[in-house]
Amino acid sequence: MREMDLASRTGPRIPVIIDCDPGHDDAIALMLAFGCGRLNVLGVTTVAGNTTGENALRNALAVLSLIRAAVPVGRGADSPMLRPLETARDVHGESGLEGLSAPRPELRGSDLTAVEFLSSALRQSPVKVTLVPTGPLTNIAIAFLAFPDIRAKIERVVLMGGAAGEGNRTPSAEFNIMTDPEAARVVFESGVPITMVGLDVTHKALIYPREVEALRESGRVGAFAAGLLDFYSRSYRSKGFEGNPVHDALAVAAVFDEGVITTRHVRVDIETRGEFTAGRTVVDFGGVTGRPPNARVAVGVDRDRFIAHIMNAIAALDAGVWRDARPDRM
């Protein structure tokens, strides 16, 4: 592990809540969040998206159990706000996490639902919290609608989702936004500061086979991560990708290392009605709409820097360093 990385582990930790739909890249995002040593993960909430709500909870518990991260896990929405759930089983498999020969979850979910956890954790936090949604925005939207006051306790929402360019679920729309466009509209119009980490950068931040092999040899957690990426790479290889886009992990990296991406502060509107364009993030780089900017949209990425964060975080999880250096958990 690089000296810089170790030194940076003892600084103040950014309080975050991760809302995810594991999902292979969500699993890598959780490993990065806990292993990077820069975040204080207050809790995890799960949402239906890549897989069912039940699978998302079970998969999140399995990954957290694997990395021995004991934090509250709140189960969230089993379906989008207004639309039927259409999972991505073609990418993530029936269980949502095919390829993870993980131990039976030792952890169990919180007694609080995702929305209850989000509202209570934000209200109780003495400082503003960064939300990191890596799935459909259903839980976040419902929380904002049910408890509008919590928006004042949010530092920013750093989300994986959307695309200024081509989509991946339809030619127009990225999966997370497409799954629940109405929820995305609530979040993008909430007034809360947003950083949008979309396909424009995640499709450039691929992890390559040689790096997966390095993970496989790096230790217990690394071997699990490599097993996940083996399965996950199948659908991307069939689409001509030379590596795996670990979409969600880039949103996590952007929280603690803002320099890993470059952004532009522009207007983003969510299409909810188009027959062929529903779920599109309409990014107004030219300012032609005259509507006020509402999101920092990622337009560039330092892939090597990003992958180094993942490698270091997983090495730290295997070495147990992330626990020792966590002053708030001594």
Pick from 68, 33, 22, 83: nearest CA to 249:
33
β-strand 281-284 against 129-133: which pairing, if any? unpaired
Q: How far apart are CA 245 and CA 51, in angstroms?
A: 18
Of 200, 248, 269, 271, the residue at the interface with ligand RIB (CB under 6 A) is 248
> Binding string to ligand RIB for residues 142 to 171, with x set by CB under 6 A, is what?
------------------x-------x---
Per-position DSSP letters for 181-244, written without gaps between them = HHHHHHHHTS-S-EEEE-HHHHTTSEEPHHHHHHHHTT-HHHHHHHHHHHHHHHHHHHTT-SSE
Of 40, 51, 119, 134, the residue at the interface with ligand RIB (CB under 6 A) is 134
- 82 CB-near residues (< 8 Å, 6+ apart): 180, 182
175 near ligand RIB, judged by CB under 6 A: yes
- 84 CB-near residues (< 8 Å, 6+ apart): none
Piece in contact with ligand RIB (CB under 6 A), picked from 112-120, 142-150, 173-181, 187-195: 173-181
21 near ligand RIB, judged by CB under 6 A: yes
Please state at what angle helix 53-66 crosses helix 24-35, rounded to 10 degrees.
Answer: 40
Q: Nearest distance from residue 58's CB to ligand RIB, in Å?
A: 16
Q: Nearest distance from residue 160's CB to Ca ion, in Å?
A: 6
Pick from 97, 314, 98: nearest CA to 219:
314
Q: Would you say 37 or 136 has its CB closer to Ca ion?
A: 136
The DSSP 8-state label assigned to residue 84 in this structure reads -
19 near Ca ion, judged by CB under 5 A: no
Q: Would you say 157 or 321 has its CB closer to ligand RIB?
A: 157
Give residues 195-254 in contact with Ca ion (rule: CB under 5 A): 248
- Tokens coding 6: 């170790």
> Binding string to ligand RIB for residues 37 to 56, with x set by CB under 6 A, is what?
------------xx------
Give residues 124-143 in contact with Ca ion (rule: CB under 5 A): 134-135
Taking the CB of residue 328, how many other CB atoms lie within 10 A of it? 8
43 near Ca ion, judged by CB under 5 A: no
Q: What share of the chain is helix, strand, coil (3-state, %, to 5)?
A: 45, 20, 40
309 near ligand RIB, judged by CB under 6 A: no
76 near Ca ion, judged by CB under 5 A: no
Q: Would you call 92 a catalytic residue per the annotation? A: no
Q: How far apart are CA 64 and CA 105, in angstroms?
A: 8
* Contact by Cβ (8 Å): 225, 313: no
Q: Would you say 174 or 200 has its CB closer to ligand RIB?
A: 174
Of 96, 135, 243, 279, the residue at the interface with ligand RIB (CB under 6 A) is 135
Binding site for Ca ion (CB under 5 A): 21, 23, 26, 134-135, 248
Positions in the binding site for ligand RIB (CB under 6 A): 21, 23, 25-26, 49-50, 88, 134-135, 160, 168, 174-176, 247-248
For the annotated catalytic residues, the residue numbers are: 247
